[in-house]
Amino acid sequence: MPEPSTPVFYQASALFDAQSPAMQPHAGVLVVDGTVRAVGTAGRVCPAEAQVVDLRPGVIVPGFVDAHTHITIRPGEGDQHGQLAQPPPWQTVRGVANLRAMLTSGVTTARIMTEEHDIDLYYRAAVRSGEVAGPALRVAGRGFSPPGKHGGAVNGVQGVDDLRAAVAQHAAQAVDHIKIFTTGGVSSTNTSLEESNYSAEEIAAIVTAAAEHGLTVSAHAHGGAGVDLAVAHGIHSIEHGALLTAESIEAIVAADVWIVLTSSILFHPTGIEQGDAQDPRILAKVQQARASMEQAIQTIRAQGARIALGTDSMHGLFGYEMQWLTEHGYSADEALTAATRGGADLMGKPDIGRLRPGSQADFVHLGGNPFDDIRAVYDVRAVYRHGQQVVTPEGDVRPVDTPAQEE
SS3 261: strand
Shortest CB 46 distance to Zn ion, Å: 42
Closer by beta carbon to Zn ion, 110 or else 113: 113
Is 113 a binding residue for Zn ion by CB under 5 A? The answer is yes
CB of residue 68 to Zn ion, shortest distance in Å? 6
What is the rounded CA–CA span in Å between residue 229 and residue 237?
A: 12
Complex with Zn ion: residue 73 or 383, whichever CB lies closer? 73
The residue among 17 and 312 lying less far from Zn ion, judged by its C-beta, is: 312
Question: Cβ contacts of residue 307 below 8 Å, gap of 6+?
Answer: 258, 259, 260, 261, 300, 338, 342
Q: How far is the CB of 73 from Zn ion (least distance, A)?
A: 8
Going by C-alpha positions, the residue among 37, 73, 33, 30 that lies closest to residue 52 is 30
- 348, 340 contact by CB (below 8 A): no
If the CB atoms of residues 113 and 296 are measured against Zn ion, the closer one turns out to be: 113
Q: By CB under 5 A, which span of 109-117, 152-160, 163-171, 318-326 interacts with Zn ion? A: 109-117
d(CA 312, CA 70): 6
Closer to Zn ion by Cβ: residue 115 or 312:
312
DSSP 6-70: S-EEEE-SEE--SSSSS-EETEEEEEETTEEEEEEEHHHH--TT-EEEE-TT-EEEEPEEEEEE-
Distance from C-alpha of 201 to C-alpha of 197, rounded to nearest angstrom: 12
Query: At its nearest, how many Å lie between Zn ion and the CB of residue 232?
Result: 23
Strands 258-261 and 8-11: unpaired
Q: Of 289-328, which residues contact Zn ion (CB under 5 A)?
A: 312
Shortest Cβ distance from residue 319 to Zn ion (Å)? 19
Q: Binding residues for Zn ion, how many (CB under 5 A)?
A: 2
Residue 116 sits in the site that holds Zn ion (CB under 5 A) = no
CA distance 103 to 62: 13
Judged by beta carbon, residue 182 or residue 326, the one nearer Zn ion is 182
Q: Closest CB to Zn ion among 8 and 314?
A: 314
Q: Confirm or reject binding of residue 242 to Zn ion (CB under 5 A).
A: no
Residue whose Cβ sits closest to Zn ion: 312
Minimum distance from residue 74 beta carbon to Zn ion (Å): 12
Q: How far apart are CA 407 and CA 397, in angstroms?
A: 20
Min dist CB 53 to Zn ion, Å, is: 37
Q: How far apart are CA 242 and CA 261, in angstroms?
A: 8
Closest approach of Zn ion to the CB of residue 151, in Å: 8
The phi, psi pair for 308, rounded to 5°, reads: -130, 170
Question: By C-beta, is 113 or 277 nearer to Zn ion?
Answer: 113
Residues in contact with Zn ion by the rule CB under 5 A: 113, 312
